[in-house]
Structure 1
Amino acid sequence: MLFGIAWDTSSNLAFAWSILPILLIGMGVTLQATVVGFFVAAVLGLLLAGLKSVRLKIVAWPARFITEFIRDTPLLVQLFFLYYVLPDYGIVLPAFLTGALALGIQYSAYLSEVYRAGLESVTPGQTEAARSLDLSPLRIFTTIVLPQAIPRIIPAMGNYLVSIMKDVPVLSVVAVLEMLNVARIIGDRTFNYLIPLSMVGALYLILTLVASAAIRRLDMKLPKEGIPLR
């Protein structure tokens, strides 16, 4: 008896083992949503950072407004907007894709600031020298500035990758069968919430530890002076 609750080790272990394959399927959905969401955030965040750095105010100001709007509104509101409002205008997306897009859009605002810090860390003299060689702005950005900025922002980007992973359970409100939603359904059907929720917590701990270790290793491997282009 533990805290007034009968604890049958053998039966609970058997129950945990029986639901593990279902939770692993949910974990697969969690990982997919994390990867898609992070990809959207990385691409859109880079686009916003580039637009905000443009000297023309007519370009930079709208990009800054969009960034602030996204960052200052809750993820759940954005998710509901994509899931419930867009169909009224003929845009119907699967629940998984809608959730991944909501995650990507939300975190693109944060990553745009990470990109901005990385881009500003590159000394202006290098871009001025590139302009003197008559290189196009796009080539300067993609071959000189960005390869030097990326290694410097890997730790911050990795932190947001882990944050996206931990925010995936929000997608359960639009019926995405990610890991926590699967555990909740198991609890509803078996009236046993302790084991599935505890297992989800343990699986999330493993995922975040592995992701953090991979990010640290990548940060150590990449040269801080920039990614060599061949």
Structure 2
Amino acid sequence: MDWDWNYAFEILPLLAQASLVTIQATLLGFLLAAVLGLVFAVLRMSPNRTISLPTTAVVEFIRSTPLLIQIFFFYFVFPEFGVSLDALTAGIIALGLHYGTYCAEVYRAGLDNVPRGQWEASIALNLTTFHTFRDVIIPQAIPPVVPALGNYFVALFKETPLLSAIAVMELMQQAKILGSNTFRYIEPITLVGAFFLVFSLVAAALIRLLERRLKRIGARA
């Protein structure tokens, strides 16, 4: 099958519109993952084993099960318990929860690398646990792990085609619909690949920019 430029330009606006859904799912999903990951990491570090052990079990369980099954669970199983979510919301929650467990390990590595003296100094200054984390530990733990978090951001972005399994009208779903309507798949699938390549490169460049900026701030501090 030959490439048809006229058809490619015809479907480009539809794919561009669908890309907005993909970007929305990526940004909201990663925002949720970043927050949940930090919560999981802090809870896992708790000296209270009734907190740390269940948190560890939840994190390992989520990391060890496929993302697609989790997406299905939120969309198809939750209504059985009286919790009905639209497809996009279910997909965002599944993405955020799944990648939150991976981010938790990244945060934990950053927190473990903060010198023990910083914790001891906070205790000596009579800081509360909340203020110790907020003002002393987290500002030192986050900058070194930004590259690893950025990798998961790009990985999450490339996982969004899984949302087509629950009929979220993102890039891959739109491409499949266009292909099934015209029996031409080469143009929509190729354009989807190009969209993902461009967005991934832009995201990687922004992450590197953020990393350099944080290093400059740290050097001035």
TM-score range, shorter chain: over 0.9
**How many pairs does the alignment contain?**
221
> Which of 187, 190, 194 is residue 186 of structure 2 equivalent to?
194
Q: Tell me the distance in 1 between the aligned counterparts of 2:217 and 2:40.
A: 24
Secondary structure of 1:181 counterpart:
helix
> Which of 128, 131, 138 is residue 136 of structure 1 equivalent to?
128
Secondary structure of 2:191 counterpart:
helix
Q: Tell me the distance in 2 between the aligned counterparts of 1:225 and 1:183.
A: 43
- The one-letter amino acid of 1:213's match is A
Report the counterpart of residue 49 of structure 1 in structure 2. Answer: 41
Q: Tell me the distance in 2 between the aligned counterparts of 1:182 and 1:137.
A: 48
Report the counterpart of residue 72 of structure 1 in structure 2. Answer: 64
Aligned: 1:120 with 2:112: yes
Report the counterpart of residue 204 of structure 2 in structure 1. Answer: 212
Tell me the CA shift for residue 99 of structure 1. 0.3
**C-alpha root-mean-square deviation of aligned residues, in Å?**
1.5
Tell me the CA shift for residue 225 of structure 1. 7.7
Q: Tell me the distance in 2 between the aligned counterparts of 1:27 and 1:121.
A: 38
Q: Tell me the distance in 2 between the aligned counterparts of 1:227 and 1:180.
A: 43
Report the counterpart of residue 157 of structure 1 in structure 2. Answer: 149
Gaps of 5+ in 2: none
Normalising by structure 2, we get a TM-score of 0.97
Aligned: 1:16 with 2:8: yes
Gaps of 5+ in 1: none
Structure 1 runs of 4+ aligned residues shifted over 2 Å read: 223-229
Report the structure number with the largest CA radius of gyration.
1
Report the counterpart of residue 20 of structure 2 in structure 1. Answer: 28
Q: Which has the higher helix share?
A: 2
Report the counterpart of residue 85 of structure 1 in structure 2. Answer: 77
Q: 1:16 to 1:193 in 2, by over 3 A?
A: same
Kept after mapping to 2: 8 A contact 1:147/1:226: no
